Amino acid sequence: MSKKIIILDYGIGNLQSVAQVFAHLNNPALISSNYKEIMSADALVLPGVGAFGHAMNNLKELYLDKSILEFVQTGKPLMGICLGFQLLFSESEEFGNHKGLDIIKGKVHKFTNDNVLNLGIKIPQVGWNKIYRSLTAVDNWAKSPLREIQNMDYMYFIHSYYAKPEVTNEILTLTQYEGTEYCSSILKDNIFAVQFHPEKSAWQGIRIYKNWIGTI
């Protein structure tokens, strides 16, 4: 039986490309910002591309920040993707300081020449990069949607900022970009989130979505 999955519509994001993956996996998802539909869902997807501050403003204007927090409290699965991953954190320094959803303790930082080895760093990072298992992920790996992904597999990234969680055992994978090592996926209770785009990451990304559906 297919699960009721809601892809959160807050005016920003790669909604259709994510929806196409769920349709491909024979579990169509509904794109919605309706509170009743969100709360009745079996699982929620928080996608996103764009600026952190603008995204948080949209969530607040639509009262979706409260809906997300309430949904998380139900214990049902939530998946964050790219900007959606970053919004789960406490704050971001993107174009000033902006408060996030504060579900994951930590801060979102910019790739800069101050914290990389290569002064010719290209921002944003666009393209394929490796993810590798965090040494603190031992207890979480087997129950995560990444469990069938090989260490050092490539995923597709598009971002100028990276997240730094305060609690290291919530980190599933790490990635390096031009000398900066950063968190590329997390698992905390019912929350799974990734900096990369699984829907752009070939069969490995499809497998991640399939495994996540299996946790619902």
Q: Check 94, 159, 183, 199 and give the catalytic one.
A: 199
**Would you say residue 52 has pLDDT above 60?**
yes
Report whether pLDDT(120) > 70: no
For residue 187, pLDDT over 70 is answered with yes
What mean pLDDT is reported for the chain? 90
Catalytic residue among 94, 159, 170, 197: 197
Residue type, 98: H
Amino acid at 19: A
Answer whether residue 116 shows pLDDT above 60. Answer: no
Catalytic residue among 82, 94, 98, 159: 82
> Is residue 183 among the annotated active site residues?
no
The residue-averaged pLDDT of 98-124 equals 77
pLDDT confidence band for 79 (50 / 70 / 90): very high
Q: For residue 45, what are the β-bridge partners? A: 7, 79
Burial of 180 (0-12, 13-18, 19+ CB in 10 A): middle
Delineate the domains of the chain, giving CATH numbers in brackets: 5-213 (3.40.50.880)
d(CA 119, CA 83): 25
Banded pLDDT at 165 (limits 50, 70, 90): very high
Residue 178 predicted with pLDDT over 90 = no
| Model confidence at 41: pLDDT above 60 | yes
For the entire predicted model, the pTM comes to 0.91
Concerning whether 82 is annotated as a catalytic residue, the answer is yes
* Higher pLDDT, residue 47 or 159: 47
Residues of the chain above pLDDT 90, percent: 64
